[in-house]
Amino acid sequence: MNTIKNVLVIGGSGFIGEAVCNQLAKAGLKITVPTRRYDSAKHVLTNPTCQIVQADIHDRAALNRLVDGQDAVVNLLGVLHSSGGKPYGKRFKLNHVEFPKALCAAMARQHVKRIVHISALGIGVENPAPSMYLRSKTDGEAAVKDSAAHWTILRPSVVFGRNDSFLNMFAKLSKLAPVMPLAGAYAKFQPVFVGDVAKAVLACLTDKNRDTIHSTFDLVGPEVFTLAELVKLSAHAAGKNPLIIPVPNFVGKCQAFMMELAPGEPLMSRDNVDSMKIDNVRTAGKLFPLEHYEPLSVLAPEYIRARYNSSWLDEFRKSAHRRG
């Protein structure tokens, strides 16, 4: 296999994408990040080997141009919400199923072989999967596996890091609500650090022995938490101690329905509640062989405290005889 130098990172402007771009840039790889809006991707330009291209990745000709000349592709395109549908809504179908298919076809046309495709933990646990998100991710994986590409599929559990939406959302909510009714309170998660996901992507692209080709790996951290424990941890780090009341799934679905009616992306959808019907922990899958996985209990309280809890700064200011 030729050494990989040029990489197209689809979804490179997102939460995981930014960490992936940083990791690949550090290793000296040249990165192209397509985006719908140039301004929303500018932060990745802090990497000198990174360029942004404003493009519609769902357009066949635009996708051909993006893939042309690359040595590898990382596919991080993913959405959390969609309208309803069987087996999944239109937005899930377009981004999770049709896009990987179109991407692999474009790669075949442009003679680009290598792809690292980011899927999600929980696939194959129940068939059919309990949510549209997981069902569409399942079919997306199948499209990649059916292609002629040299693929690796990575399945992360929920991903944490300074800019995550999961723990930060609970920290923010705990600032607003002293009582938190919580569906899926006992659902289990095995969160993985965003930097570790990025390391795994780089390891795939620099894998000289080709051991990662045609393999599927789980990406999970060293600790398992229930959702209620994660909410408590986020709230405590934000300096709050809300009363968490576990509620049955149908109540959670009513809450989510109300959130879906609000304008913009909902904090939680009914489909997200369905995803939590199965635990998000590693079972029979192969763990990606990283030397070390970072624990959430050490890293997350630090970045949540820094963003949401200024009381420790107040203490510091007091001891330094300074006012807020």
Ligand X SMILES: NC(=O)c1ccc[n+]([C@@H]2O[C@H](COP(=O)([O-])OP(=O)(O)OC[C@H]3O[C@@H](n4cnc5c(N)ncnc54)[C@H](OP(=O)(O)O)[C@@H]3O)[C@@H](O)[C@H]2O)c1
* Interacting residue ranges for ligand X, rule: CB under 6 A: 11, 13-17, 35-36, 40-41, 57, 76-79, 95, 118, 120, 156, 158-159, 166
Q: Which residues pair with 114 in a beta bridge?
A: 72, 150
CB of 57 to ligand X, least distance (A): 6
CB of 92 to ligand X, least distance (A): 10
Answer yes or no: are the C-beta atoms of 16 and 84 closer than 8 Å: no
Longest CA span, the chain: 67
The residue (of 194 and 237) whose beta carbon lies closer to ligand X is 194
Residue 264 Ramachandran class (φ > 0 left, ψ -120 to 50 alpha, else beta): left
- Token pair listed for 79: 């959405």
Q: What sign has the CA pseudo-torsion 65, 70, 73, 78?
A: negative
CB of 16 to ligand X, least distance (A): 4
CB of 17 to ligand X, least distance (A): 5
Answer yes or no: are the C-beta atoms of 157 and 281 closer than 8 Å: yes
Query: How far apart, in whole angstroms, are the C-alpha atoms of residue 296 and residue 230?
Result: 10
CB of 270 to ligand X, least distance (A): 18
The residue (of 191 and 310) whose beta carbon lies closer to ligand X is 191
Looking at beta carbons, which residue is closest to ligand X? Answer: 14
Answer yes or no: are the C-beta atoms of 219 and 154 closer than 8 Å: yes
The residue (of 307 and 310) whose beta carbon lies closer to ligand X is 307
The residue (of 107 and 120) whose beta carbon lies closer to ligand X is 120
Best CA proximity match to 159, nearest among 120, 133, 188, 125: 120
Best CA proximity match to 296, nearest among 202, 124, 157: 157
The residue (of 107 and 167) whose beta carbon lies closer to ligand X is 167
CB of 251 to ligand X, least distance (A): 24
Q: Is the preceding omega at residue 248 within 30 degrees of 0, hence cis? A: no
The residue (of 4 and 57) whose beta carbon lies closer to ligand X is 57
CB of 160 to ligand X, least distance (A): 8
Residue 309 Ramachandran class (φ > 0 left, ψ -120 to 50 alpha, else beta): beta
The residue (of 79 and 224) whose beta carbon lies closer to ligand X is 79
Query: How far apart, in whole angstroms, are the C-alpha atoms of residue 139 and residue 135?
Result: 6
Pairing of the two strands 150-156 and 215-219: parallel
